[in-house]
DNA sequence: GTCTATATGCGGATAGAC
DNA sequence: GTCTATCCGCATATAGAC
């Protein structure tokens, strides 16, 4: 008869995030998570209906955090600088939380849900790009930037660049896209 | 006492490739694979030491096939056209074999091995980009292109573009990169 | 609210008979 | 070369006692 409760939805979420980053997605099991919280696995189901519900919460946290970091990081910058800064923050985020980012983007398992935190993040990127291309709803250009950022982060995290590394590929690609987007504005 | 053998390394590999595309990576188990071949799982270990060895063979097949398709597809094209064509073939490949492509690029599990088929594929991309940037060893630009292609393919396959789709983002990004690469040549 | 015990299912891989 | 039988481990999730 433990009072008060030994845990909470927030504590579970926090611990899950830590466990994900430290042990990787493959080791994020309800058993391991419970162990970290000095609990047994069945107790977790009082707070999250199933594992997917917990993952949805984790993805929501991730997209919200990234959006916040970008929004505050680009404040007061002119369009071009803002886009570059947003790209850098995005990449830094994928480096700081590689497994959380992978979970977030591996979300083909979650049904598309337009009114989520992912939509808010998308809108921030859309606005940043729009200020450069002079088109506030430039889906195509935003998709292009997103693809580049995501691809670079993913290849880097997967170790696909090998021991020699990307050799300035990020800066070159970002500059080229910016150049192309400027042309697009005229 | 079955003579001749009921299977072969080649037949196993082929069936594994089919099974991967049809059922997805999660369902590619030694048991399922054996069933497709009218075998029992233990028999497979006579031909591949373990599952990882089989996956290595699959990745080798994928990178080799993609390299071949790009090489023959760009034959006789001028540099700019060749790069565009190579990018299109790359994307088409990821659409034709999404799960095989994912396995190939998910290869952080495989140790980096410079003398594999992946290196040959990289060299083709390097040459294609080099003809545009007038630098036969332009690692940075090749990384940028690769990141864009991989990112776009990955986001598309994950359903991250949502119901509205990428809205021309591929063409816009590719043109922007090409534009930037041309500038790089001067 | 947490626990033990369990249902149920999956996977990779091996030993040893035939 | 293929098989049966098995070991061993992992997982999500539930029932019901406390």
Please write the tens of the pLDDT for every residue from A81-121. 999 999 999 999 999 999 999 999 987 778 777 768 889 99
Q: Is the CB of A24 under 7 A from strand D?
A: no
**A141-150 per-position pLDDT tens digit:** 999 999 999 9
**B47-58 per-position pLDDT tens digit:** 999 999 999 999
Phi-psi region of B111 (alpha: psi -120 to 50; beta: other; left: phi over 0): beta
Q: Where are the domains of chain A?
A: 1-48, 60-185
pLDDT at residue B2 in the model: 53
- What is the pTM assigned to this prediction? 0.97
What pLDDT band is residue A37 in, cutting at 50, 70 and 90?
very high
Cα A45–chain centre separation: 26
The residue-averaged pLDDT of B70-90 equals 98
Q: Does domain A1-48 have CATH number 1.10.10.60?
A: yes
**A2-25 per-position pLDDT tens digit:** 568 999 999 999 999 999 999 999
- SS3 annotation, B124-178: HHHHHHHHHHCCCCCHHHHHHHHHHHHHHHHHHHCCCCCCCCCCCHHHHHHHHHH
Q: What count of CB pairs under 8 Å joins A to B?
A: 169
- A 10 A CB-CB count for A138 gives 24
Residue nearest to nucleotide C4 (CA to C1'): A40
Fold of A60-185: Tetracycline Repressor; domain 2 (1.10.357)
Question: Which nucleotides of strand D are protein-proximal, with an atom < 7 A from a CB?
Answer: 1-5, 10-16, 18
CA distance B5 to chain A (A): 37
Q: Which two tokens stand for residue A120?
A: 């808010």
pLDDT at residue A2 in the model: 52
Nucleotide nearest to B43 (CA to C1'): D2
pLDDT at residue A48 in the model: 98
Q: Does domain B59-185 have CATH number 1.10.220.10?
A: no
- Cα(B163)–Cα(B159) distance, rounded to whole angstroms? 8
- Cα(A96)–Cα(B71) distance, rounded to whole angstroms? 38
Q: Which two tokens stand for residue B120?
A: 């040959």
Cis upstream peptide for B118 (omega within 30°): no
DSSP single-letter state for residue B40: -
Question: How long is the CA B21 to C1' C6 vector, in angstroms?
Answer: 36
- By percentage, how much of chain A surpasses pLDDT 90? 86
Cβ pair A169:B147 closer than 8 A: yes
What pLDDT band is residue B3 in, cutting at 50, 70 and 90?
low
- By percentage, how much of chain B surpasses pLDDT 90? 86
What pLDDT band is residue B14 in, cutting at 50, 70 and 90?
very high
pLDDT at residue A32 in the model: 98
What pLDDT band is residue A176 in, cutting at 50, 70 and 90?
very high
Residue of A nearest to B181 (CA): A176
């Amino acid at each position: 008869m433990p009072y008060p409760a030994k845990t909470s939805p927030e504590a579970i979420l926090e611990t899950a995030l830590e466990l994900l980053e430290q042990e990787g997605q493959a080791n994020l099991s309800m058993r391991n998570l419970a162990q970290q919280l000095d609990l047994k696995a069945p107790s977790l189901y009082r707070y999250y209906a199933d594992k997917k519900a917990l993952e949805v919460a984790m993805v929501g946290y991730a997209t919200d955090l990234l959006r916040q970091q970008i929004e505050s990081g680009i404040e007061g910058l002119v369009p071009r600088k803002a886009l570059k800064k947003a790209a850098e923050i995005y990449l830094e985020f994928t480096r700081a939380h590689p497994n959380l980012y992978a979970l977030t983007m591996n979300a083909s398992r979650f049904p598309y849900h337009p009114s989520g935190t992912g939509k808010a993040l998308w809108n921030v990127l859309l606005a940043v790009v729009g200020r450069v291309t002079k088109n506030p709803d430039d889906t195509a250009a935003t998709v292009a930037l997103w693809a580049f950022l995501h691809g670079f982060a993913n290849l880097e995290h997967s170790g696909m660049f090998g021991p020699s590394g990307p050799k300035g590929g990020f800066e070159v690609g970002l500059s080229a896209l910016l150049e192309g987007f400027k042309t697009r504005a005229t």
